[in-house]
Structure 1
Amino acid sequence: MYPVTPTHTEELLKIIQDSAETSDKLPDTTAIQKMIDKHAGERDEMLEGVAYYLNQADIKKRIRYFYKHGVKVVDTDKPNNRISHNWHKLLVQQKVQYLLGKPITFNAEEERFLEVVNDFIDEAFDDCMQELLKNASNKGKEWLHPFVDEEGNFDYLRIPAEEVIPVYDSTKKRSLLYAIRYYDVKNIDDELTRKVELYTDEQIFYYVEHEGALIQDFDYKNNPESHFYDTKGKGYGWGKVPLIEFKNNEEGVSDLIFYKDLIDAYNGNISNNANTFDEMQDIIYELINYSGEDLAEFMTNLRHYKAVAVGEGGGFNMKTAEIPMDSSNTHLDRLEENIYRFGQGVNNNPDKVGNSPTNVAIKNLYSLLDLKANEAERKFRPALSAFFWFFTEYLKMTGQGEYDPTLLQMTFNRSRMTNELEQVQMANQSTDLSRETRLANHPWVEDVEAELKRIEAEEAEYSNSMPPLTEIETGGDEDEPKRD
């Protein structure tokens, strides 16, 4: 059933419609400002994932209080350990290195197309893919901006998701109508100035905030700016908005939201235990029939005179705090197990993995991480296809050939721990399979084609090094008649 509450896109379109000066296609500056203001909450949620990745969990903000005469006062005397455990970074790095630790392999039936793609894909592109997945895992999404640089070369730029407000159409195709990017820069007086960019399918409009309102940014010679220019200085547009969304999952949310409460509970328990350990150094005095007027007098007499005055039947006892360590450790172990479970990660504790696990056990160990990686890969594939649409359009415009980006095949080479001995034995025993298939499943072989060429070269070298066979060794001439 269609939800009763409006979607995010419908809310943005409503803002545009409510703006009196808005055209049928693009929002005016008033509508843009309203969308930026509305985006603040979503931006904060994205940056929370980044903060946890940088080990700045909520425990770092904890303040201890006490009540004095019914008033809440910050307690600066009590121990306030704020110990943060970077579970989120661990789980995100596991996911990134598992899915993109090895470069994506591209393939195409048309050799020239594949050659052009492989020439373009380099280590910088592989690094960009990892950054896209890392930031999408933290924020729920990240953006890639393809463009043609001043020298006429095709290039790309990663844009932080917290800076982008996309507006899609309301059809099932969900094509991007336009996107707004906003960010702050420091001016000459070291003050922050808000810059705003509006990306359409043909141009880019630039604005700057001045006295609380958006105005045209005159720092740009051409405003609006075309997406790219030919050698004669004529501007052109891609025909599509040059921003590509790389989503983390279907909901476009951070991985953190699925286990944040567990991390906070873990940090809180460890920090509370540390506070208790610190406080155990202080002795608690239980006073009975104390004859003094206040506690300050008691502490003074105890410190200076090593004695205190008590009434008839009075006295005092000394006590220290104790931590139920067994219960605490059990609770922490359960939290750790649930962090891995709901974070869909791999707990590589030797007690869990064992000394020599079978590949079946390893596959089961990686089952949750596989589910999470599958979801991210499913969202990255169409995003990469959209990126290579811009790349093939550039190739066509520059006369380097016309290619269909949908025919480009992508293989995500996952990095999984394996039992190499078991895998090698299975490959050697599978004699009914082709040599190429066995090599593809050998743990030491990274490039099957290169390995096949090396094997052929070694076999040819071995054959050339062998002396020619004599007639006796070959059985003689079969046509020669036998003598009695």
Structure 2
Amino acid sequence: MYLFHRKTHTEELIEHLAANAPNPTPTELIKRIYEAFDTTEMQKGIDYYLNRNDIKRRQIYMYRDGQRVVDIDANNERIPSGFHKILVDQKTAYLAGEPMSFSSRSENQSVLELIDDLIGEKWEDMLPELIKNASNKGKEWLHPFINEEGNFDFMLIPAETFIPIMNVKTNKLTAGIRFYNESEDIVRLEVWTDTDVTYYILVNNQIMLDEDEELNPAPHFTNADGTEWRSWGRVPFIEFANNNERIGDLFFYKEAIDAYDMLVSDAQNTLEDMQSLIWALKGYTGEDLGEFMENLKRYKAVSLDLEGGLDTIRAEVPVEAYQVQTDKLKENIFAFGQGVNPSPDIIGNAPSGVALTNLYSLLDMKASILERKFTLALRDFMWFLAEYCNISGRPSFDYRDILFAFNKMLLTNEAEIIEMAEKSIGIISKTTILENHPWVKDVALEQERLQKEPPTQL
């Protein structure tokens, strides 16, 4: 059953994409787009975050009869490092360790209360996931929708499960294909445009319209009572990009991590190999090495001829070279990853404010790039929120009136800040001093406390 009798935007899109193709059917074209979608780089970021580094798949080979084969007897330690997770978590905590602040250009407090009521704690919980996932994959998608109760809602759509189709001239999202595996043999695909969504199913490498959907294509949502079908007028997916190139953070330091993992794993292999002595025999009178080891184990002695000798050989570990190289690789990982090395030797016991600013400079630079991209995405998110208010009869507002601020969280020298705050009394307002005091989280609450029990210093 089809709701629309006119040509849908999905059909128009498919016709446009098919213009230069050798007569594919719409379903074949969608299948081609789906099969050409490459998530390799995204998956690398996810794997390294979950400590599934390439070293985990390392094999040690040997040559037998001129053929390279896996040496199943060789020591093969596979020790992955967690540097990528540290760097991504640093960035996430730096940007979202404290809740994001929303403000109004027109200082409309009722609008801010409305936004908090509609997205509130769910947004605070979702923001760190958006930052983490975008840092791993290069981007992540947010899907705003109106649920069955008629309330505004939103959900994360993993970037590896959504194929954006962009307008080349405007660089705007004109359609998108969301897909997910229902089972090993069945993939469901949804083709979204600004007015409708068409459902497809891929079974045994054959794609067709999903007959389980009563309305296909269908509008984006219905009213709470299900009486009226409506659409957003935009493709309801918002891209939260990590940077302008849409690449994950791992891209910039993966080789350094791989080299570190290889070095540490090989060092462990060498240490394990050292536990086994290599015996150098001269003039042994026995018939085979098995007998030699048995005599050595049982009698603590072996039989040698008059010119025989018995020596042991141990491998030498280049400890200093290993240490220098691992330290250099670790330094490169934090430098290329634009992070903060948490080593006490780097941070020190009580660094000054200037030292901490310098320490966080690379992290702040990297985070600021994501911050700009997320601010653009949040502006689109506010558009959907404002549109929902218009549709549902809630108080309307101008989505361009809303401002966003990431409350970045960094280490500070509290004693230094408090001393500067005391010296600023009488020069700047007490409110400004409270806003920058490291112990004050809620300025309004602190001001109420001050009125009841004024402190001696402020």
Report the TM-score when normalising by structure 1.
0.85
Look up the match of 1:7: none
Aligned pair partner of 1:326 in 315, 320, 327: 320
Alpha-carbon distance in structure 1 between the residues aligned to 2:342 and 2:203? 54
Q: Give the Å deviation of 1:300.
A: 2.5
Q: Is the contact made by 1:83 and 1:267 (CA closer than 8 Å) also made in structure 2?
A: yes
Look up the match of 2:420: 426
Structure with the bigger RCO (C-alpha within 8 Å, sep 6+) is 2
Identity fraction in percent: 42
Aligned pair partner of 1:298 in 289, 304, 311: 289
Alpha-carbon distance in structure 2 between the residues aligned to 1:67 and 1:308? 34
Q: Is the contact made by 1:154 and 1:394 (CA closer than 8 Å) also made in structure 2?
A: yes
Aligned pair partner of 1:99 in 95, 101, 126: 95
Question: In the superposition, relative to structure 1, how do residues 421 and 94 fare at CA in structure 2: closer, same or farther (>3 Å)?
Answer: same
Alpha-carbon distance in structure 2 between the residues aligned to 1:248 and 1:84? 25
Could you give the per-residue CA deviations for residues 159-212 of structure 1, whole angstroms, max 9, x where no partner exists?
Answer: 1000111011112x31111001122113xxxx4411111010011111001332
SS of 1:18's equivalent? coil
Look up the match of 1:68: 64
Q: Give the Å deviation of 1:20.
A: 5.4
Aligned pair partner of 1:200 in 186, 190, 193: 193
Look up the match of 1:136: 134
Residue type of the alignment partner of 1:218: E
Q: Give the Å deviation of 1:309.
A: 5.4
Q: Give the Å deviation of 1:38.
A: 1.1
Aligned pair partner of 2:119 in 110, 121, 143: 121
Alpha-carbon distance in structure 2 between the residues aligned to 1:320 and 1:439? 65
Residue type of the alignment partner of 1:103: P
Alpha-carbon distance in structure 1 between the residues aligned to 2:16 and 2:63? 48
Name the larger-Rg structure.
Answer: 1
Aligned pair partner of 1:223 in 193, 216, 219: 216
Question: In the superposition, relative to structure 1, how do residues 321 and 284 fare at CA in structure 2: closer, same or farther (>3 Å)?
Answer: same
Q: Is the contact made by 1:302 and 1:308 (CA closer than 8 Å) also made in structure 2?
A: no
Look up the match of 2:10: none
Q: Give the Å deviation of 1:314.
A: 5.5
Alignment of 1:43-442 (within 5 A): 43-108=39-104, 109-171=107-169, 173-186=170-183, 191-230=184-223, 231=225, 233-287=227-281, 297-304=288-295, 306-307=301-302, 315-430=309-424, 431-442=426-437
Q: Is the contact made by 2:93 and 2:409 (CA closer than 8 Å) also made in structure 1?
A: yes
Aligned pair partner of 2:439 in 433, 437, 444: 444
Q: Give the Å deviation of 1:322.
A: 1.4
Q: Give the Å deviation of 1:401.
A: 2.4
Alpha-carbon distance in structure 1 between the residues aligned to 2:284 and 2:442? 84
Could you give the per-residue CA deviations for residues 365-420 of structure 1, whole angstroms, max 9, x where no partner exists?
Answer: 10111011101101100111101100000001111122111110111001111111
Residue type of the alignment partner of 2:130: L
Question: In the superposition, relative to structure 1, how do residues 179 and 160 fare at CA in structure 2: closer, same or farther (>3 Å)?
Answer: same
Unaligned 5+ residue runs, structure 2? 1-13
Unaligned 5+ residue runs, structure 1? 1-11, 460-484
Alpha-carbon distance in structure 2 between the residues aligned to 1:438 and 1:21? 69
Q: Give the Å deviation of 1:330.
A: 1.0
Q: Give the Å deviation of 1:291.
A: 8.0
Report the TM-score when normalising by structure 2.
0.90
Aligned-residue RMSD, C-alpha: 2.2
Aligned length: 434
Q: Is the contact made by 2:138 and 2:248 (CA closer than 8 Å) also made in structure 1?
A: yes
Alpha-carbon distance in structure 2 between the residues aligned to 1:309 and 1:35? 75
Q: Give the Å deviation of 1:350.
A: 1.5
Residue type of the alignment partner of 1:18: N
Alpha-carbon distance in structure 2 between the residues aligned to 1:59 and 1:399? 56
Question: In the superposition, relative to structure 1, how do residues 232 and 85 fare at CA in structure 2: closer, same or farther (>3 Å)?
Answer: closer
Alpha-carbon distance in structure 2 between the residues aligned to 1:45 and 1:177? 24
Q: Give the Å deviation of 1:316.
A: 4.7
Q: Is the contact made by 2:194 and 2:232 (CA closer than 8 Å) also made in structure 1?
A: yes
Q: Give the Å deviation of 1:307.
A: 2.9
SS of 1:225's equivalent? coil
